[in-house]
Amino acid sequence: MKLYTVDEIAQLLRLSKRTVYSYIQFGYLRAIQVGEKKALRIPEDALREFLEKNQTVPEILPRPRYKLIIIRKKNPNDNR
């Protein structure tokens, strides 16, 4: 099981560390305390759960290669 630091999560999601700490404090993002200093770590499954619940796609995921753009000519007879 991969564990992320608060700093790593902040970088991945392009958030401040303070925002990540707030998400943990209010229960939006699950974290565990490790070591004698009780440093916070976020398990990979907690990150996935957070992303699924918030329907957020981080920048680290691959983007589609192509975008479909539809251009519609304006009809001169259209009174809209």
Going from N- to C-terminal start, the domains of the chain cover 1-80
pTM of the complete model: 0.65
pLDDT of residue 3: 95
CATH 1.10.1660.10 assigned to 1-80: yes
**Which of the residues in the chain have pLDDT under 70?**
56-70, 72-73, 76, 78-80
Query: 66: alpha, beta or left, given left = phi > 0 and alpha = psi -120 to 50?
Result: beta
Q: How far is Cα 42 from Cα 3, in angstroms, rounded to an integer?
A: 5
Coil, helix or strand for 38? coil
